[in-house]
Chains A and B, each alone.
Chain A
Amino acid sequence: MNVSFYKFLSIKSSYQLVTLALLTCVALFGPAMAQISVSVTEGHKRPMPLAIVDFNGPHGSAIAATVRDNLDRSGLFQVQNPEVFLQRDIDVNLAPRFADWRIIKTEALVIGRGMVANGRLKVEFRLWDVYGESQLIGLEFSSSEENWRRIAHKVSDAIYRRLTGEVGYFDSRVVFVAESGGKKKRVKRLAVMDQDGANPSYLTDGTEQILNPRFNVQGQQIVYSAMSDRGVKIWIVDMDSGRKEIVSVAGSMAFAPRFTPDGQSIVFSADRDGDVDIYIKSLRTGVVTQLTNNPNIDTSPDMSPDGNQIVFTSDRGGSSQIYVMNGDGSNVRRLTFGEGRYSTAVWSPNGDLIAFTRQAEGQFQIGVMAKDGSGLRILAQAYLVEGPTWSPNGRVIMFQREAGPGDPPTLWTVDVSGTNLRQSPWKASGSDPGWSSTLP
């Protein structure tokens, strides 16, 4: 068991709770009329014009800028440039002049302010329906002052939820592998950042090459594999303590680990004399159970959110394809057919879709399909794209992309509708992203 503390102070602080309170409605206005809304699936066709005024008080403009960036990157909103605003410096407890906002074609308006007392930052904001002239949300968040970005993400999530009807995903983190150096001597460090690329920190020193890290659903632990000269081992790092612990497995090769949805076990692949099969290990009892048993490669297991099924990659049919089996290894069914090779299947958070990597005609693709293999759609394609991971609300997929031969790997996102392809704000080399649940 190794213990290390790379920058964990900063990680811990970012995990401090952000508390929430409902702002009392401005007396003048009645309950929300709820006519204003954005369709997430069709949103790209007409992004909603949205104005976010710089919040008053400490961190106010930085919080507003972060909220703007979040909502703009979602592709669902036309976030307006503050330079065109006619009304500025609006008191959060006063109603805006709606005519000023209708002139610039704003449909929804956000006004807020920050206050600091005893080292704690309190942020109040209201979301207004400009045409309905009604308040849609009035909320207050508070946390330690250095946590202002998390408050901004909470504000973003609240706006997103109110306007789209779907849970937001902005207050979440991404674990990934930060890459540096040439191909032959590539340094691959475990790293974690906010979903918008802020607050990056490294959790390993680069001695070993880190592969395919994943959060548990609870977000407190990361499981990953680490490659040394003599093998690949599975490790778990605890985010609160910084403690790293190896998950002991017989043999020199244990890889492709994922937590089960309950966080109590790990499914993974191991090599026993050239036979690569899928196993599950209980972290409580230490018992290892073999789930597949055939001479072919079975890897990249991912358990469905309800815990009943495991989707995985196998070449038992002659080429790499996606299969699904019951949680105990029984009832194996093949999901992908036809041209191309398929791998790295991952369940969407609510279990209705499966994202995957496909190789065909010399290109790599990211796609999604229904859990029975039907309705297959390709969302992105390049010289190399691989390793899809779902945003906590299942609307966005992040993956690794190399534009052309020899290009460095970078992180990209695409909407599950196939629109809004864009590079992550984390522009440096990165691979193997794993998206967390939304933070508590």
Chain B
Amino acid sequence: MTKSALIKPWVGSVALILMSSLALAACASTKTATPPTNSTPPTPLANNGEATTTESATPIPQTNVQRAPLTPPSGQLGAGKGAGSSIYASLSEAGDLILFPTDRFDLTDEARAILTRQAAWLQANSTKRILIAGNCDERGTREYNLGLGARRANAARDFLISLGVAPSRIETVSYGKERPIDERSNPDGWAINRNAQTTLLD
């Protein structure tokens, strides 16, 4: 993959944009797909280490191509370390949606993996603040679900804090069952709607 450093800079930029689009598309698809299983979390794209700059992932203006040396790739970019530069171009690439079983708010292994990636991204983007919204399926009463959503959001928050994210950077909210992201009134839809979703505040 060091070959990419030899390619003309504009090609690299296009590649980066393409990869970002792919990452966004991949993320969008997870929202409507069936819930992830407990298989190993997807490994990051292999060429991200080279493509990521040391700064945040702001879009690069196409009319203003700049040339800069890449930072040395780290061999220790395993999930959960969180220190140093993030390996994710965006929060959504790190994963912004974790799912919960019926009537539960404890974190699954899959949810912990996604939150670990979120923490890594947040460590690398230290000015960013996030909102975690807890959501529930429609198979509960309104006020209880507001409480359950609050517990889901706070379970995610507590885990991020345990990984070193400052509490002041995290806000939580519960939407209960009021803001489903999947319209289906069936077990597949309910599974998607039992979630905690992370969005950027600033």
Contact = CB atoms under 8 A, between A and B. Distances in A.
A232 interface: yes
B143 A313 contact: yes
A437 interface: no
Contacts of B10: none
A300 B144 contact: yes
B131 interface: yes
A232 B174 contact: yes
Interface string A175-186: 000000011101
Interface string A384-426: 1011000000000000000001100000000000000000000
Contacts of B179: 184, 186, 209
A386 B143 CA distance: 10
A129 interface: no
B178 A274 contact: no
Nearest to A186: B178
Interface string B142-155: 11101110110111
B150 A274 contact: yes
Contacts of A212: 142-143
A188 B185 CA distance: 19
Contacts of A231: 173
Interface in B99-145: 103, 131, 138-144
Interface stretch (A11-19, A62-70, A96-104, A248-256): A248-256
B191 interface: no
Given A211-B178, A274-B157, A297 B148 contact: yes
Nearest to B193: A183
Given A274-B155, A276-B151, A182 B143 contact: no
Given A184-B181, A231-B173, A273 B154 contact: yes
A184 B138 CA distance: 12
A232 B147 CA distance: 11
A315 B147 CA distance: 10
B143 A300 contact: yes
Given A209-B178, A252-B173, A359-B140, A183 B147 contact: no
Interface residues of B, number: 32
B144 A297 contact: yes
B90 interface: no
A315 B186 CA distance: 25
Interface in A237-258: 252-253, 255-256
B144 A320 contact: yes
B54 to A, nearest CB: 32
A312 to B, nearest CB: 10
A343 B158 CA distance: 27
A369 to B, nearest CB: 17
Given A183-B180, A184-B183, A386 B158 contact: no
User: What is the interface residue range for chain A against chain B?
Assistant: 35 or more
Nearest to B153: A274
B157 A343 contact: no
Contact of A344 (B143, B151, B180): B143
B50 interface: no
A216 interface: no
A72 interface: no
A63 to B, nearest CB: 38
A253 B142 contact: no
Interface centre among A188, A315, A432 (most CB of B within 10 A): A315
Contact of A343 (B141, B154, B172, B173): B141
Contacts of B150: 253, 271, 274, 276
B88 interface: no
A284 interface: no
Contacts of B153: 274
Nearest to B167: A273
B151 A297 contact: yes
B173 A274 contact: no
A431 B176 CA distance: 15
B199 to A, nearest CB: 9
A230 B173 contact: yes
7 contacts: A227-B175, A232-B146, A253-B173, A271-B154, A319-B103, A343-B141, A386-B142
Interface of A: 182-184, 186, 188, 209, 211-212, 227, 229-232, 252-253, 255-256, 269, 271, 273-274, 276, 297-300, 313, 315, 319-320, 343-344, 357, 359, 384, 386-387, 405-406, 431-432
Given A255-B146, A405-B186, 10 more contacts: A230-B171, A252-B171, A256-B146, A269-B147, A271-B172, A271-B174, A273-B154, A297-B147, A299-B144, A300-B141
